[in-house]
Chain A
Amino acid sequence: MPPLMEVRDLSKYFKVPAGVLHAVDRVSFTIEKGKTLGVVGESGCGKSTLGRTMIRLQEVTDGLILLNGEDITHVSGRKLREVREKVQIVFQDPYSSLNPRLLIEETIQEPLRNSCDYSRSQLKERASALMDLVGIDMRLRQSYPHELDGGRRQRVGIARALALNPEFIVCDEPVSSLDVSIQAQVLNLLMDLQDQMGVAYLFVTHDLSVVRHISNAICVMYLGETVEMCPSKELFSTSMHPYTKALLSAIPSIDIDEPMRPIPLKGELTSPINPKPGCRFFPRCPYAKGGCRQPLRLEEVSEKHFVACHRVREIN
């Protein structure tokens, strides 16, 4: 059986006045049915672009996207509509991702109207079932998005994404704009839905504790490239890439007896425009050496643990 979702050497470049911006560069991974791959990285690392490109919201520059073994990289027309029924997205900002002029009920019905031949009563019934599933009160059916708080709006976004029983959902920072107590409610909901419906997620976030909680495997991105990918717990116990180590060390712990010892990184994120060959983390890396300028590939260092670093064996 082919995996549910597979990308091979996926790249997405943008032409900008200063040159070519490498937003996503040769990223490969697979996601099995009912599993979650977390994608983490700092702003500008290409994690959202990756999610959007994978589900064909943006044209692919290079590489392959396979859904159930079938190449969907360049499909169009009716075929693309079929793909869209199977892959959906939940956006980061529940304030701008809902149409302010549509009732909650209409928002949830919209994908059904586009893809199914439902009668009016069937539409209503399905929308009610979906609202029930994500825990939105029935009395909010005839409300507008502005009448709801962030957590409820995000539930509407999730209900809309689930309307067509997709197999795969890109969750693009779905809880980043929510308060912790509400964030926990939405995370629980996403995990329950996965158990019930077997949907797979690509979970994009910058919050490492969230990603550990929800993912089976984690992919760490830096300037458009995967620098480390491994099963989720392993990343926290035995991270190998210098960037991952720095990222983990910078999280302020809630344990008051465990002072933060962030590994200092030189400078800030360099530009993804016309990147130089070799390791892109090189200018900031505490372990950088001349050899790091050589071209670099992701390498399986131990079982299911991939790292892109020339010196991975020396420094671990």
Chain B
Amino acid sequence: MPNQNDVSLTVRNLNVVYTSRKKIIHAVNGVSFIMKKGQTLGLVGETGAGKTTIAKSILRILPDPPAKVLGGEIMLEGKDLMKVPEKEMLKIRGEKIAMIFQDPMTALNPLMTIGDQIMEGLRLHNDYSEAEAAQTAKELLEMVGIHAERFKEYPFEFSGGMKQRVVIAMALACEPELLLADEPTTALDVTIQAQVLDLINKLRAKYHTSMILITHNLGVVAQTCDHVAVIYAGKIIEYGSKRDVFLNYAHPYTLGLFASLPSFSKDAPRLKPIQGSMPDPTRLPPGCTFHPRCPHVIEDCTKSEIPLIEVSPGHFCRCCNMRQEG
């Protein structure tokens, strides 16, 4: 167990469902992890794996209904965020935990100037006068590489990459302890993505912010994170340091993800995709949820819940076939 003082966030047994009149969608099914201060955790997985739902439950911004958090603990600085009153949560959002959303085009209010949007959070969480807030907002803009003169412009006057910089400036305005970055560069071109990732890394180092980076891009994880959790059908199926997961992956799904990527250096005539597609989240298969697509499936896989097993210190994997080999 790491020293309590080093821990920035603990998530224990988080379960979230989405309900509709007829169906229950099991989005997050018992996710637990611990983040140390200053750590960067990459949450990797395909569409519908539950990555964004995890981030939104930490901030408690899931729309209820249809979303329902069935249980779990989210501990930040000794407080369970699941239990704090909404009024206190307002203080935590933006000040302690901030989020960068995937789509910079919709994350900003089109009717407010960029400056006003950055000032909004600053004035809410600090005792700033209008002039002080404006001054800080201008400094933030300069920090993310936007001229302070553009303070009074509206979002439509900025390009996609610039808007994402503004969103980053807003997220870092109150120097949060934890940054939730939900696919921060997916909507951007590669050259702009490189600039934005570089910016996030520099600022994170400056403020010692911990970060959960949600992405489906393994390259982005390789270049920014120190720990990785691979999510499949709402469960962590592999967790470890970047080295563990990228070089010594243990789960057949993780292997499948890497094998699906076309390579830059090697010539493979055919890719080796994972067979089939994601399971229907309203009817998850019993046992290991990956078993219908797994090439190494054995009888045990379909029987009961597979626990996360520590394959080497700090490296966990949820696979029963591997347990037998080990």
Residues on A lying within 8 angstroms of B by beta carbon are: 42-43, 149-152, 179-185, 187-188, 191, 206, 208-210, 212-214, 233, 236, 246-247, 249-256, 259-260, 262, 264-265, 268-269
Question: At the interface, is chain B mostly helix, strand, loop or mixed?
Answer: helix
Given A254-B218, A268-B192: A209 and B260 within 8 A (CB)? no
User: What total of A-B pairs shows CB separation below 8 Å?
Assistant: 118
Asked if B271 is at the interface (CB within 8 A of a chain A CB), the reply is yes
The 3 closest A-B pairs by CB, nearest first: A184-B273, A252-B219, A213-B262
A247 to B264, CA, bound (A): 13
Distance from B83 Cβ to chain A, minimum over Cβ atoms (Å): 35
Distance from B199 Cβ to chain A, minimum over Cβ atoms (Å): 12
Given A188-B271, A262-B198, A268-B162: A252 and B216 within 8 A (CB)? no
Q: Which residues of chain B are within 8 angstroms of A181 by Cβ–Cβ distance?
A: 46, 256-257, 260, 273-274, 277
Distance from A222 Cβ to chain B, minimum over Cβ atoms (Å): 11
Given A42-B189, A42-B191, A250-B194: A185 and B216 within 8 A (CB)? no
Q: Which of A151, A213, A256 contacts B277 (CB 8 A)?
A: A151
A252 to B190, CA, bound (A): 9
Residues 42-79 of B, flagged 1 when their CB comes within 8 A of A and 0 if not, give 00001100000000000000000000000000000000
Residues A262 and B191 in contact, CB atoms below 8 Å apart = yes
| Given A43-B160, A183-B273, 18 new contacts (CB under 8 A) | A43-B189, A152-B277, A181-B273, A188-B270, A212-B262, A213-B262, A214-B262, A233-B267, A246-B191, A249-B194, A250-B193, A250-B194, A253-B223, A254-B246, A254-B258, A260-B223, A268-B159, A269-B159
Q: Which of A149, A212, A252 contacts B197 (CB 8 A)?
A: A252
A188 to B269, CA, bound (A): 9
Residues A252 and B194 in contact, CB atoms below 8 Å apart = yes
Q: Which of B159, B193, B218, B271 contacts A184 (CB 8 A)?
A: B271
Q: Which of B47, B161, B190, B260 contacts A250 (CB 8 A)?
A: B190
Residues B46 and A252 in contact, CB atoms below 8 Å apart = no
Residues A256 and B246 in contact, CB atoms below 8 Å apart = yes
Nearest chain A residue, comparing its CB with the CB of B224: A252
Question: Which residues of B (252-296) have their CB < 8 Å from a CB of A?
Answer: 256-265, 267-268, 270-274, 277-278
A255 to B223, CA, bound (A): 8
Nearest chain B residue, comparing its CB with the CB of A210: B262
Given A181-B46, A252-B222: A206 and B194 within 8 A (CB)? no
Residues B190 and A180 in contact, CB atoms below 8 Å apart = no
Q: Which of A150, A183, A265 contacts B191 (CB 8 A)?
A: A265
Q: Which residues of chain B are within 8 angstroms of A183 by Cβ–Cβ distance?
A: 260, 273
Q: Which of B159, B219, B242, B273 contacts A185 (CB 8 A)?
A: B273
The residue among A179, A187, A260 with the most chain B CB atoms within 10 A of its own CB is A179
Q: Which residues of chain A are within 8 angstroms of B220 by Cβ–Cβ distance?
A: 252
Asked if B131 is at the interface (CB within 8 A of a chain A CB), the reply is no
A269 to B161, CA, bound (A): 10
Asked if B323 is at the interface (CB within 8 A of a chain A CB), the reply is no
A233 to B224, CA, bound (A): 28
Asked if B135 is at the interface (CB within 8 A of a chain A CB), the reply is no
Residues B219 and A180 in contact, CB atoms below 8 Å apart = no
Q: Which residues of chain A are within 8 angstroms of B273 by Cβ–Cβ distance?
A: 181-185, 188
Residues 198-238 of B, flagged 1 when their CB comes within 8 A of A and 0 if not, give 10000000000000000011111011100000000000000
Asked if B247 is at the interface (CB within 8 A of a chain A CB), the reply is yes
A259 to B160, CA, bound (A): 25
A126 to B270, CA, bound (A): 28
Nearest chain A residue, comparing its CB with the CB of B274: A181
Residues A251 and B198 in contact, CB atoms below 8 Å apart = no
Q: Which residues of chain B are within 8 angstroms of A268 by Cβ–Cβ distance?
A: 159, 161-162, 192
Q: Which residues of chain B are within 8 angstroms of A213 by Cβ–Cβ distance?
A: 262-263, 268, 271
Distance from B308 Cβ to chain A, minimum over Cβ atoms (Å): 22
Nearest chain A residue, comparing its CB with the CB of B159: A268
Asked if B243 is at the interface (CB within 8 A of a chain A CB), the reply is yes
A149 to B259, CA, bound (A): 22
A187 to B260, CA, bound (A): 10
A-B contacts, 8 of them at CB < 8 A, read: A180-B218, A181-B260, A184-B271, A212-B262, A233-B267, A253-B264, A256-B222, A256-B243
